[in-house]
Structures are given as C-alpha cells and as structure tokens.
Structure 1
Amino acid sequence: MIAILSALLPTFALIILGFGLRQRQFLPDAFWPGAEKLTYFVTFPALLFSNTAKADLGSLPLFGIAAAILGTVAICAILIVAIKPVLKVRPAAFSSLFQGAIRPNTYIGLAVAAALLGDNGLTVTALCVALVVPSVNVLSVLACAHWGDNDRKTGVVSLLRDVIKNPLLMACVLGSLVNVMGFGLPPVIGPFLEVLGRAALPIGLLAVGAGLDLTAARRAGIPVGLSTLGKLAISPAIAAGLCMVFGVPSADMAAVVLYAALPCSASAYVLARLMGGDAQMMASIITVHTLVAIGSMPIIAILVHAV
C-alpha cells in the first residue's frame, strides 16, 4: 500500500501545485492555454507515439482489453440514459452529465500508468486511449447535439473528420502502424520523441490543476454527486467485471480498471460551451471528479493490486 501511495502522490501533487500556481498568479493567465495546447498537440502525442511504436503489442490480449474498456463506456452510457427520468434535470444539464459519465482525463491516466504500472501499463493505457477517445468523442457530440440548447445538425462526415483529427488518437494509430510494420524508431527521431514526451505528464498535470474551479464545485448538487459516484466507483467496477469475463490478465486489468476510474476530461467543458450544454454544471463535474479522484484512485489501485 505504501508503495502505491508513494507512486501516486507525486501525480496528484502536481495537480495541486498547478491549482496553487494559478491561484497565486505566479504565472500569467495567458500561460495556461498555451501550456494546454502544447500538451495536447505536441508533448502527449510524442509520448503516445513513441510508446506504442516500441511496445510489444503482440503480448497483449487486445480483444479482451478492447471488449472490457469499450464495454465499460457502453454500459455507463446506457446507465446514465436509463436514470435520466430520475435525475429531473434540464436536457442541457443532462448532456453535461452524459459527458461526465464517459469522458476520461487522459493526462491523469497516462501519469498514473507511468508512475504505477511501468511500460506495460503505459502501453495498455495508450491502447485504451486509442479505443476510447474516438468513441467518447462521437457519443459526446451526439449527446450535446440531441440534448444541448443548440440548433446544430451534426453530420456524420464532419463528426468523423473531427475524430480523425484528434492528435492523441492519430499518435496511437501511427505509432501502432510503425510497430506492426516493424520499422521501429529511427536513431535520432526516437530519442527526440522520448525526451519530448517526458514533458507531457508534468505540464499536463499542472494544467489540469490550473483548470480546477472551486466556485463551480461549490454549486455541485445531487446530480453531480451521482455523476462522481458513477465515474469514479461504478465505472471501474464494471471494467473489473468485464476484464474477468474476458480473461484479461491481472497486470493488464489494473491498467484498464484505473483508466475506467479516471475523472472527467477538461475538454468536456469546451464541448459543453460550444454545443449548448450546461457549462457551469460541466465545470462542477470536472472539478469535483478531479478532487475526489485524488482519494479514490489510490484506493482502486490498492484493490486491483490485491486481485
């Protein structure tokens, strides 16, 4: 238990540091959007590409991992829609709750995997990213188009174009192609990408902390509480059950379950704002999820290591 906490605490300490730096105005506010852009388009894709390009994908139970993580997303999406009548919220607010049920914070996921699970865990997490990112993007856009306060009609072509352009997805796909084709990373480019990728986790986690909104968190009500319970407890429980059903080995199962236990991604706020979702509720969900995850993820990590 001590080893798990020692591995995870630095990850969440960076989030808290980012929040403190933003609150103290240690850096100008203009710094944080640039840091997020650098992480999203440059350093995280470098990390994902280099990791998937050199990983031993042949040793992974690809079908079991895919079935477990995509099955978790599907079940969580179905469950949140099923309890919609009970929640009694406006359609726009429900679109934000829907995003909160399925969208994971990839930055935290990769940091936790790197700190706790080593190269194999990082590879499994990268595979989860490649599978989940397009799935939740499509579902989230459809949910916002259907329930959000907007008159936008989302075409299939434009939706697929937005998904394909996602830099995290493309990094995983291209890295996997390089891996499968046996090219490997060239002598200069490989080390360059690895060094560049090392900057992804600290910058990304600091940006996550800087984006926390305690004012929005104080507005959280019962729907946000249910969202937090679902994303941080029910979702990993579903993932663990599906991993057992599909025979995913315990080492790989740990990565899948922890990925399913991630708090909601900050990108959900942008989509809620653009497509008529409840942006204030979305900010509450993201902040509460992240703060609670500081306590819940170490507990889940201890539980999956005990399996």
Structure 2
Amino acid sequence: MNLVAVFLDTLDVTLPVFAMVFLGIGLKRVGWIDQAFVSTASLLVFNATLPTLIFISLIKADLDSTFDPGLMLFFLAATLLGFALSWVWAIYRVPQSERGIYVQGAFRGNCGVVGLALAASLYGDYGLSAGSVLLGLVILSYNTLSVVVLAAYQPGKSTDWQSLGLNILRNPLILAVLISLPFAGFSVRLPDWLMTSGEYFASMTLPLALICIGATLSVKALKSEGSIALGASLMKMVTLPALATLGAWLVGFEGRELGLLFVFFASPTAAASFVMVKAFGGNAGLAANIIALTTLMASITITLGVFVLRVLGLI
C-alpha cells in the first residue's frame, strides 16, 4: 500500500472543506466581509439554503439504500452515551457554572455543515443523501440534549420547556426533513425548472456556511478560559469520535457507513451552541472558545482520522 497516495487522496477529501473555512478567515481579515455579512449569510443558510439542500437531497435519494435504521439507531445510542460521558466527566472536572457549556461543546457537532460537506466529499450523492437522512435525527437529538444540560445549570432562571420544545419543532432543518418525507416516500416528481432552480439555490449552502464559520473564528478569544475550552475540544475532537468509531466498527459497520458515522462524530462543535448558551444566559465567551478551537483542530484530526481508517481498509 502506497501511504503517500492514500494520504494525498485523503487531503483531496478534507482540504476543499477546510480551505473554505480558512478562506473565510482571510476574507474577514482583509475586510472584504464583515460581521453584518456573516450574520445575514448565516441566517440565509440556516433558514433557507440548507433546508433546501436537505429537501432536494432527500427527494432525490434512493431511500432503499440511504435509509438505514441500524445506522440511525447506533448514532442515537452513541450520541446518548457520549453525552452522558461528557456530563459525568464535567461533574468531576469542571466548575458547576460552566458544566452545561462544557457538555454541549463536547458532544454537539456541526454535522449540518462540516459533517454534510465531508460526507459529500467522501461519497458524493450517497454521502449527501444518507447524511441528510441522518441529519434529521442529529438535529432533534442535539437540540433536545443541549436544552436539557443547559437548563440544568441555567443561572437563576426557570426554564420554559414548552417554548423550548416549540422552538425545536420549528427548526427549519427539522421541517425540511418532515416536508420531504412524503415527496420521497411516494416518489413525487417536481418540475424540472423547479428542481434546477432549487439546486442553484442550494449549491450556495456549503461554501457560504463554511466561509461564515471561518469569519467568526477568533484566536484571541482562546486566551481566556483556555483549560476548560481545551478539555471540551479534546473530548469533542479526539475522545468521543475515537470511541464512537471503534464502537461502530465492533458492531459491524464498515465502508461508507463507517466513514459517514466518523465524519459526523468528528465534526467540530456546532456554531448554534453559542446561540443557545446566550439564550440561557450562560458564558457565551466559553462557548465561542470551544467552537473556535474545535474548528481549528478539525482540519488535522479529521484528516488524520480518514487517513488511518483508509490505511486500515475500514472505509
């Protein structure tokens, strides 16, 4: 086996994704984009282009080959175990006021952008379709568990569970999955002009979202509360992906299913975690530090992870 060739093939998968993140850093530094652009573009991605991408991917998908109940069940079980492990670790290692932020940062990945982009880069249409199917479960489980742990340590406030539950159900990504199901299940064909227009619109999603992630990174912010942020980042980018991927292999997943699970588990902390921490009145600075550090680490840890799995012949 030519390890150099395998490594170069791995870079072909991961570098296009992270190059867009670093492009966002560069564009922000030279002043070509600003915070107003990032805020507007992020809202456009979350509310419109990403739901459109998920909808189109699902209605075009061959659900017989992309809908895998076993894979979804394993992802949910591994997510719950990772969430529990992070919480137990935080009880013994993290100050009480920061535990909810630590736990959310340690288990909640940016699967909707980074994970989906890597899945598409690895496996093309299958990665995009299967990743979109899995994303519905990701969104529901991540949002629900984040609400639980942040509410448990919310400083001096009572939690409006009904309002939070409605906000989760109104999530545009969840709605995109639910709306697409009857179209996919009954093979409803949309007019060609509508599909083409939708694909043009959806094609903006991944590059625009990745550029926004890069533009929001702040290395200076990492100077404060570095030890807690580093601990959560190592849990998110090293410990949990390694344990979850090993567990997936032990129960029989291999090939593209194992690769899909790995890139979803190994995705850096979701930017939405910052918004949720602010909504709960927590330490938003710590949340931002975790997002920044995991995103910077991802270009190394994910590339090495894909390389090792390929060398071992597992994906």
Q: Which residue pairs with 1:13 in the alignment?
A: 19
CA deviation vs aligned residue, 1:217-250 (integer Å, no higher than 9, x gap): 2224332222122111222223323433543342
In 1, distance between residues paired with 2:192 and 2:134? 28
Using the TM superposition, name which of 67-76 and 236-245 deviates more.
236-245
Paired residue type of 2:49: T
Paired residue type of 2:59: A
Cα 1:180–1:216 shift into 2, 3 Å = same
Instruction: Tell me how large the CA RMSD over aligned residues is.
Output: 1.7
Pairwise mapping of residues 30-41 of structure 1 onto structure 2 (< 5 A)? 30-41=36-47
Extract unaligned runs of 5+ from structure 2: 1-6
CA deviation vs aligned residue, 1:145-179 (integer Å, no higher than 9, x gap): 11021413232x32321111111122122223311
Pairwise mapping of residues 121-136 of structure 1 onto structure 2 (< 5 A)? 121-136=127-142
Q: Residue 302 of structure 1: which of 298, 307, 312 is its match?
A: 307
CA deviation vs aligned residue, 1:244-300 (integer Å, no higher than 9, x gap): 354334211101111010000111111111202221111110000000001111111
In 1, distance between residues paired with 2:94 and 2:13? 41
Asked whether 1:112 is paired with 2:112, we answer no
CA deviation vs aligned residue, 1:184-227 (integer Å, no higher than 9, x gap): 33322212111111110110000000111212222243322221
Q: Which residue pairs with 1:274 in the alignment?
A: 279
Pairwise mapping of residues 201-220 of structure 1 onto structure 2 (< 5 A)? 201-220=206-225
Q: Residue 94 of structure 1: which of 86, 92, 99 is its match?
A: 99
In 2, distance between residues paired with 1:123 and 1:264? 22
Q: Which residue pairs with 1:256 in the alignment?
A: 261
Q: Which residue pairs with 1:230 in the alignment?
A: 235
Cα 1:304–1:67 shift into 2, 3 Å = farther
Instruction: Give runs of ≥4 in structure 1 deviating > 6 Å.
Output: none
In 2, distance between residues paired with 1:130 and 1:185? 22
Paired residue type of 1:294: S
Extract unaligned runs of 5+ from structure 1: none
Asked whether 1:200 is paired with 2:182, we answer no
Note if contact 1:53-1:175 (Cα within 8 Å) is conserved in structure 2.
yes
Note if contact 1:125-1:256 (Cα within 8 Å) is conserved in structure 2.
no
In 2, distance between residues paired with 1:185 and 1:302? 39
Shift of 1:43: 1.0
Cα 1:243–1:88 shift into 2, 3 Å = closer
TM-score of the superposed pair, with normalisation by structure 2: 0.91
In 2, distance between residues paired with 1:220 and 1:301? 31
Paired residue type of 2:89: I
Shift of 1:88: 3.5
CA deviation vs aligned residue, 1:21-63 (integer Å, no higher than 9, x gap): 1122222431110010111111111111100111111123622
Paired residue type of 1:229: L
